[in-house]
Amino acid sequence: MGRAIGIDLGTTNSCMAVSDGSEIIVISSGEGPRVMPSVVAFTSKGERLVGLVAKRQAITNPRNTISSIKRLMGRKYEEVEQERQNVAYEIKPNEKGDASVRVFDRLYTPPEISAIILQRLKARAEEYLGEEVTDAVVTVPAYFNEVQREATKAAGRIAGFEVKRVLNEPTAASLGFMEPTERKNIAVFDLGGGTFDISILQLVNGIFEVKATSGNTHLGGDDFDQRIVEWILGEFRRDNDMDLSEDPVALQRVREAAERAKCELSSTLEARINLPFIASDEEGPKHLELSITRGLLESLIEDLVELTRLPCEDALREAEKTPDDIDHVILVGGSTRVPLVRKQVEEIFQQRPAHNVNPDEVVAIGAAVEASVLTGQRKDLVLLDVTPLSLGVETLGGVMAPILEKNSPIPAKKSRMFTTAVDNQQVVNVHVLQGERELVEGNRSLGRFELVGIPPARRGVPRIEVSFEIDANGILNVSAMDAVTGRAQGMKVNPSGGLTEEEINELIREAAANAEEDRNRMKLVEARNAADQVIYDAEKVLETARKELEKESWQELETAATSLRECRDSEDRIRIAKETSRTSSLVSQTSKLLDIVHSGSVEQQDDDEVYVLEEDTEEQEQ
């Protein structure tokens, strides 16, 4: 059996580490730095370049140099419009509609490109260790959905790894930062090239427990770079009346200059951008010479940095912590070197973040720690992670009933009892959902299955137990069982249901932005459900009343029930509530009248019998 390593498969750079006894060693990329650019290039000669050498030739070969492939993982072509605009290479759909990259005359899927990066890391690790490397723990953003996690696993398998676990990056960072003997509350602020995550963890006696996680899987350093690119293009267009975005080579030079300027401004107050011979016209060659200050950069990206605040506040609230409760704030990802980002972190958590952590390496170190735990080398710590979004099923009226709440510790299993909606219902449709909205239409459908063979009974009588079970790798199994017959049915569901990065963030943002609308819609649903119950009760009472009472005794109830049925599907909640109240009152009155009739008929029957007996006696005496 070969060795196991930890890999941080990053948007911009990748890093790997290995456990060597009690020590974690970061393995050099073999190109000088200990991190390797997550870049793959294909040349006209059929060569395949990876890492720094691929990045260096990007200016002369922009169409066939692939970077930031992580932002395409597990996503459909129609979902990546922004990425298509911001990269030089060509993004096309494959036969399944997945976003893929066209290189010469072939389409490569994101897992294939990622596998090439992982293969290079594997080869370097085996060269460094002098033995075969077979297993790996690979990290992903905490808000990666299951499709993206499975795509990452597939990339590992293509590269020749057995992926022992897909580990959340903030969680890995905490493993790489803390000693298991400590007792601390930790906040991990992870802002990389393409994603942002925030996790609140609690460490007690070797148990790392994730209390809450939040984030934005469509926010990172690439977005900072793009703002600088747009500014550069705008300045050049204003001065020269030329659009550099139409020239792939010039645009790639601008992108690289923007990234360099961003990095320089983390340590200096001003950066120069000099790109000679960037374009030409009838007047001759054009040169690009600009100066960008840290203040200008901060004005360009201020709104992007502000997007990190709400997820941090949400994570603190979900974890039931305040900034005063946090003992350490760990910064992860190269974009946390931006001074404005660090200032934002200090404002949110009211303390300076830890500075004894290398943000480019700590995730890989934590992944190596987890690899040592999974392979039995270490037994002094336990990791308890959480599921990022709520999971539940659809109920009557289009309402989602949560079963596994957001930030539930995993692995986990939870059940909830449901019943039927109509009389003699023998089949129930279990619709599995994910999201934070109360109404089904605001959440993501993960799948459906049917439970058949339920014994006929009145609505509300059957008992159907729906169970959700999610394992440590985030795989969800859903089952439904009829409590009477024991009949069961189930399905395996991706816990994030194939949600795109943007869709997951939209679910959370929409839940907050549309809270008032949701409450009003919930009231409408509740009014309709109440109306359904009153209509059902009215029909039952009318069945008896039509047989035992005069028409004038039940006609008003029948008219009211008909009126309620007609307005039940309207959007006027007040009208539905009024009609429901009126019909309910008539149901009660008619029901009481029936009780009196039943009681009275018995008494009348007794009186008649007495009367007859008395009459017979008189006749006999006569």
pLDDT per residue over 585-612, tens digit each?
888 888 888 888 777 654 444 444 433 3
Report d(CA 29, CA 14) in Å as an integer. Answer: 9
% of residues, the chain, pLDDT over 90: 32
Strand segments (E) across 440-519: 444-452, 464-470, 476-482, 488-493
Residue 600 is predicted with a pLDDT of 62
Per-residue pLDDT band at 517 (split at 50, 70, 90):
low
Give every CB contact of residue 495 below 8 A, 6+ residues apart in sequence: 145, 146, 387, 391, 434, 446, 470, 474, 475, 476
Set 8, 150, 482, 579: catalytic member: 8
pLDDT(355) > 50: yes
Q: 39: left (phi > 0), else alpha (psi -120 to 50), else beta? A: beta
For 29, counting Cβ atoms within 10 Å of its Cβ (0-12 exposed, 13-18 middle, 19+ buried), the class is buried
Cα separation values, 523 from 158, 268, 529, 571, Å? 51, 56, 10, 11
Residue 610 is predicted with a pLDDT of 39
What one-character DSSP code corresponds to residue 517? H
Residue 95 is predicted with a pLDDT of 82
Computed over every residue of the chain, the mean pLDDT equals 83
Residue 432 is predicted with a pLDDT of 85
Residue 9 is predicted with a pLDDT of 95
Q: Does the annotation mark 169 as catalytic?
A: yes
Q: How many CB atoms lie within 10 A of CB 305?
A: 20
Give every CB contact of residue 404 below 8 A, 6+ residues apart in sequence: 387, 390, 391, 392, 412, 414, 468, 470
Q: How many CB atoms lie within 10 A of CB 86?
A: 18
Set 169, 436, 469, 510: catalytic member: 169
List the one residue out of 295, 333, 286, 303 whose CA is nearest residue 70.
Answer: 333
pLDDT(539) > 50: yes
For 246, counting Cβ atoms within 10 Å of its Cβ (0-12 exposed, 13-18 middle, 19+ buried), the class is exposed
pLDDT(300) > 90: yes
Residue 611 is predicted with a pLDDT of 39
Q: Which of 210-224, 342-356, 483-497 shows the lowest per-residue confidence on average (mean pLDDT)?
A: 483-497
The side-by-side arrangement of strands in the sheet containing 444-452 is: 399-404, 391-395, 427-434, 444-452
Residue 16 is predicted with a pLDDT of 96
Report d(CA 170, CA 518) in Å as an integer. Answer: 32
Q: Does the annotation mark 105 as catalytic?
A: no
What one-character DSSP code corresponds to residue 244? G
Set 98, 150, 190, 360: catalytic member: 190
Set 70, 164, 211, 406: catalytic member: 70
pLDDT tens for each residue of 6-60: 999 999 999 999 998 778 999 998 777 789 999 999 988 777 888 988 998 998 8
Q: Does the annotation mark 70 as catalytic?
A: yes
| Peptide bond connecting 411 to the previous residue in cis, omega within 30 degrees of 0 | yes
Q: Which long-range contacts (CB under 8 A, 24 or more apart) does 276-285 make?
A: 278/236, 278/244, 278/250, 278/253, 278/254, 279/236, 279/240, 279/242, 279/244, 279/247, 279/250, 281/240, 281/242
| pTM (predicted TM-score) | 0.67
Q: Which of 149-153, 474-478, 556-560 shows the lowest per-residue confidence on average (mean pLDDT)?
A: 474-478
Q: How many CB atoms lie within 10 A of CB 42?
A: 22
Per-residue pLDDT band at 322 (split at 50, 70, 90):
very high
pLDDT tens for each residue of 197-216: 899 988 887 788 888 888 88
Report d(CA 230, CA 242) in Å as an integer. Answer: 13
What's the rounded mean pLDDT across residues 550-571? 85
Count Cα neighbours of 305 within 13 Å in the Cβ-side half-sphere: 22
Identify the residue with better confidence: 269 or 525.
269
Q: Does the annotation mark 45 as catalytic?
A: no
Residue 153 is predicted with a pLDDT of 84
pLDDT(488) > 50: yes
| Residue type at position 572 | D
Residue 504 is predicted with a pLDDT of 37
Q: Which of 92-101, 207-216, 361-370, 440-449 shows the lowest per-residue confidence on average (mean pLDDT)?
A: 440-449
What's the rounded mean pLDDT across residues 228-253? 92
The total number of residues shown for the chain amounts to 622
pLDDT tens for each residue of 116-145: 899 889 989 998 999 999 999 999 988 776
What one-character DSSP code corresponds to residue 440? G
pLDDT(184) > 90: no
Q: Which of 312-316, 461-465, 495-499 shows the lowest per-residue confidence on average (mean pLDDT)?
A: 495-499
